[in-house]
Amino acid sequence: MGIIEAMRLDGKCGFVTGGARGIGKCTATGFAEAGADVAIVDLDFETAEKTAAEIAEATGRKVIAIKCDCTDPDQVAAMVQEVVEKLGRLDFCHANAGICINAPAEEMTYEQWLKVLNINLNGVFLTDIEAGKYMLAHGGGSIINTASMSAHIVNVPQPQCAYNASKAGVIQLTKSLAIEWAKRGVRVNSISPGYIGTDLTLSSPHLQPLIAKWNEMAPLGRLGKPEELESICVYLAGDTSTFTTGSDFIIDGAFTCF
């Protein structure tokens, strides 16, 4: 079997949180294009349904939508159970749901701090643990977490201490789970995207001055495209990455190199 055939995900099933749009939509598309059946998990169920139908039509794979608040332990447990019931198994997942609140640290409310940490870190923990429980009991699997280059640098000019701290936590959680589960068949890795030009980012008027500054600072002079994250996630979900666990992959156009 050649390397291209070996990287396919035929017969595998998985889910993507925050999968209705942006990065999650693109990685879900990549998984389906590689042959996997996929669940689009999002709090915005209407958009998730549209995304699922769009990917299913384009790829011919079984793609379903599930509504879930990833900060609610009961909902996350029920979501994983629904994925298994409707798709038949769980081989991989991409814990991708997240938010960012830009506020100076001395002005940020405790409620804002907690909201960011709860979604970005606690939500990833709950997703990983529930997916991990199934995988540990069924011979293994692959977990992919969305961290950020913000776990490695302090972004400027926008103030975002809660986001940066939450994403640094995601990387350490990833490494910790990878060590705990290494001999039990469950691999855990993270991706750390740089500035990515999602539809929401590009259409936001208040972000336009920031985008101009980011592009000025970027070695490649541009934002990344969500599609440029697909291949690394397909690799991590499949069987050619069986010696890869506990790793963080920075995909940032060399932004963190200086």
Cα 36 from Cα 72, distance rounded (Å): 27
Give just the sign of the alpha carbon dihedral 124, 180, 171, 235. Answer: negative
Task: Compute CA 5 distance to the chain's CA centroid, rounded to the nearest angstrom.
Answer: 24
Residue 14's nearest CA partner among 29, 34, 33, 31 is 31
Catalytic residue among 163, 192, 195, 235: 163
Angle between the N-to-C axes of helices 45-59 and 22-33, in degrees from 0 to 180, rounded to the nearest 10:
30
Catalytic residue among 148, 150, 166, 241: 148
235 assigned to active site = no
Cα 187 from Cα 245, distance rounded (Å): 5
12 assigned to active site = no
148 assigned to active site = yes
Q: What's the 3-state SS for 56-81? A: HHHHCCCEEEEECCCCCHHHHHHHHH
Catalytic residue among 25, 134, 167, 192: 167
The single residue listed with the structure tokens 């940490």 is 117
What are the residue numbers of the active site? 148, 163, 167
